[in-house]
Structure 1
């Protein structure tokens, strides 16, 4: 496993990282084994934005035998409220949630304290003079967090972070599709309705961000590198062609200042597929020839199962419901396994109350309420 220096943090992080957001889908035993297996393969970088106790417990158990060999991106502002993920800057939630993170991860420090999910320029400005930022700085001063980072999907907001002087690295959404899309701080209309015929290269704001990170020695770790797996399927890909995990990884790692890509794993085989990048041939890594002449399609409205739609007033697991809907509609008939897995969900799409609050939180403009109606009709509940 090759490592890269994560900008001014000086941390030598593995090129392939561990995005832990699907750990809650597994038993604790399976999740712990997956983390330990990743460590054996040389992965030393893990992102924990998840607020749920189960995922945090799994990570803590998985790392307790070699905590000093891991670098953790721990998010500040990702909290647990009424049994669901809740993003906030209110200290009555932020402080207990971060203390819970330390306790469940069985550690007394976090390598990278992440200012969690800032996509609005207005929100960025509000944070600059707030109890929330004072708390982040206090944690840094005490050594509870070793470095300060931030996560964002918006290159204009990320640029402000780079220019701030105190943000040492950023977690940013990078893949070939996203890179052609213009910046927006409006989460409802974050991505363009269509790929313009002229968008055959990287968006200028994104190109400028990567260059600024390189010049300011601000390292980048990558999220959404596979676009929720959509890039692996020609029918679901915005390009109309499919890419491999190795090609997506190579794309991300060839952006300026990028040091590590956080891949999501459900199985050891998926870990092997990602780590296989390290021994892949140049031909296997070549993504350019695949997308050079591909038809461009709209990406807006496509769910990447990121979970930012939470919390749901009706307790629906929106991301998983959307995933089952996508899996079902890819086939002429609903696969029996998909139907059965959907039916095992505690709350079904038919229970959606149509409040649309989740849609305001979706970075990709997914018409969630409409999709819940379609899903309920498709699965019959």
Structure 2
């Protein structure tokens, strides 16, 4: 296993981490067995979140007795100081620890950033928790380039998590800028929400970029761990054949895959188009039906609200048939 320093945090982490979303598909005992295998394989970075239902709790149980072998990262959707204080306390309780090495602001919008960093915002709680030793370092996750860029202007932010994979390379310039500023970069969605079937190729592409600190494929099965380890331990140069395969994947998915750039916004009737497609991806690819439906149910405007005006399609840089995709999402979710 290759190890790297996570930006300016000083944390020494494995370049492949453990993504904690999919363990929702298994159970607590299976999670314990899997995390033991993860530890024995030399993977020492674990990613979870307050929003991943049982993920924090099951990981907390799995980490008992081996907590000191891991760099633990979680995240919260809280935007105010009060809400963040509450979430930090819940996270520590769920994870059965007195501290986490990295606590992240989970996917804020540009408008949210003003709240997070303003008076009474979530950053106040994170800085206080850092001073108390409950939080080692502070990071942020994003799905839009604008939020990524804005986060780089805040010195408090030591890491940024952003989608990066064979078909989502829109953040490469920002990833390079993050490296220049000493901000650790965490690559999420390495398989593009499951759209990329060749996991080995996907991971090799990501880790070929020296500006990527760590990639966090989600795993719920020992076979997935074995396959991913082999991919990440192969540090040979990408071959011409692999490059050709990546070009083919881009050609295929580039015509019908939402990359969540958000250029389609604003929707005429207020639908969060990228989130609809994100949750549809979890429903159809990750096998996380209940989780996807619960998140979809929380959207104020559903796919069925689409009036098919087509304005979004004129803004999409990938010429996606958004109206057609929205109809399918409405059918899949039943609303």
Instruction: Judge conservation of contact 1:170–1:220 (CA < 8 Å) in 2.
Output: yes
d(CA) in 2 for partners of 1:49, 1:22: 12
Partner of 1:24: 24
Counterpart of 2:54 in structure 1 is 54
Gaps spanning 5+ residues in structure 1: where? 78-87, 182-205, 233-243, 311-316, 328-340
Tell me the distance in 1 between the aligned counterparts of 2:195 and 2:140. Answer: 25
CA contact (8 A) 1:159 1:212 kept: no
What is the distance in 1 between the residues matched to 2:328 and 2:205? 31
Specify the alignment match of 1:331 in structure 2: none
Q: Any conservation in 2 of the 1:20–1:264 contact (CA below 8 Å)?
A: yes
Q: Does 1:217 align with 2:195?
A: no
Distance 1:154 1:299 in 2: 19
Change in Cα spacing, 1:36 to 1:208, as seen in structure 2 (3 Å) is same
Query: Distance between the aligned counterparts of 2:299 and 2:145, measured in 1?
Result: 31
Q: What is the deviation of 1:319?
A: 5.8
Partner of 1:174: 164
Map of 2:246 onto structure 1: 291
After TM superposition, the score normalised by the length of structure 1 is: 0.68
TM-score, normalisation: structure 2: 0.77
- Matches of 1:375 and 1:172, distance apart in 2: 27
Distance 1:290 1:266 in 2: 26
2:331 corresponds to 1:374: yes
Aligned residues: 300
Helix, strand or coil for the counterpart of 1:231?
coil
Aligned residue runs from structure 1 range 173-322, under 5 A: 173-179=163-169, 181=170, 206-232=171-197, 244-280=198-234, 282=236, 287-292=242-247, 295=251, 297-301=254-258, 321-322=283-284
Q: Does 1:116 align with 2:70?
A: no
Secondary structure of the 1:42 match is coil
1:356: which partner in 2? 301
In 1, are the aligned partners of 2:168 and 2:259 still within 8 Å (CA)?
A: no
Q: 1:285 to 1:73 in 2, by over 3 A?
A: farther
Q: CA deviation at 1:9?
A: 0.4
Matched, 1:152 2:166: no
Is the 8 Å Cα contact of residues 111 and 147 (structure 1) preserved in structure 2? yes
CA distance in 1, matches of 2:175, 2:102: 20
Q: Partner of 2:17: helix, strand, or coil?
A: strand
SS at match of 1:263: coil
Native 8 Å contact 1:218 1:257 kept in 2: no
Matched, 1:125 2:132: no
- 1:290–1:72: structure 2 CA closer, same or farther, 3 Å change rule? same
Cα offset, 1:218, TM superposition:
0.9
Deviation at 1:376, TM superposition (A): 7.2
CA deviations on 1:124-159 (whole Å, 9 max, x unpaired) are 233221321111111111121111111112223212
Structure 1 contact 210–255 (Cα < 8 Å) conserved: no
CA RMSD of aligned residues (A): 3.6
Looking at structure 1, the residues matched to 174 and 282 of structure 2 have their Cα atoms a distance apart, in angstroms, of: 32
Q: Residue in 1 aligned with 2:311?
A: none
